């Protein structure tokens, strides 16, 4: 499952890099993906929207069994 999650993150990464940010996969356990937002994404006021509306939605649609994304600091 980690490989599938990483593939989706790699598809999204160019959009994050364009805004000066990035994302790191920390862990996948029981349908929950833990991510670390880095660079400009780490302290951006819109990071929650990016995480939930963007990354979580894409992962839930493309990786069976994923239903939640949590940010790790």
User: What are the CB-based long-range contacts (under 8 Å, 24+) for 33-39?
Assistant: 33/5, 33/59, 33/66, 33/68, 33/69, 33/70, 34/69, 34/70, 34/71, 34/72, 35/9, 35/69, 35/70, 35/71, 35/72, 36/71, 36/72, 36/73, 37/71
Give the mean model confidence (pLDDT) for residues 7-11: 97
Structurally, how many domains does the chain consist of? 1
34 confidence band (pLDDT: 50, 70, 90): very high
Q: Which residue has the higher pLDDT, 45 or 7?
A: 7
Looking at residue 49, its pLDDT comes to: 87
Q: What is the pTM of this model?
A: 0.91
47 has a pLDDT exceeding 90: no
Kindly report the CATH number assigned to the domain that includes residue 32.
3.30.300.130
Looking at residue 32, its pLDDT comes to: 97
48 has a pLDDT exceeding 90: no
Range of the domain at 61: 2-71
């Amino acid at each position: 499952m980690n490989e599938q999650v990483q593939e989706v993150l790699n598809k999204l990464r160019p959009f994050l890099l364009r805004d000066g940010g990035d994302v790191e996969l920390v862990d996948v356990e029981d349908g929950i993906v833990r991510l670390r937002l880095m660079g400009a994404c780490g302290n951006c006021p819109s990071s929650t929207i990016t995480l939930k509306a963007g990354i979580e939605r894409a992962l839930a649609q493309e990786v069976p069994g994923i239903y939640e994304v949590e940010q790790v600091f």
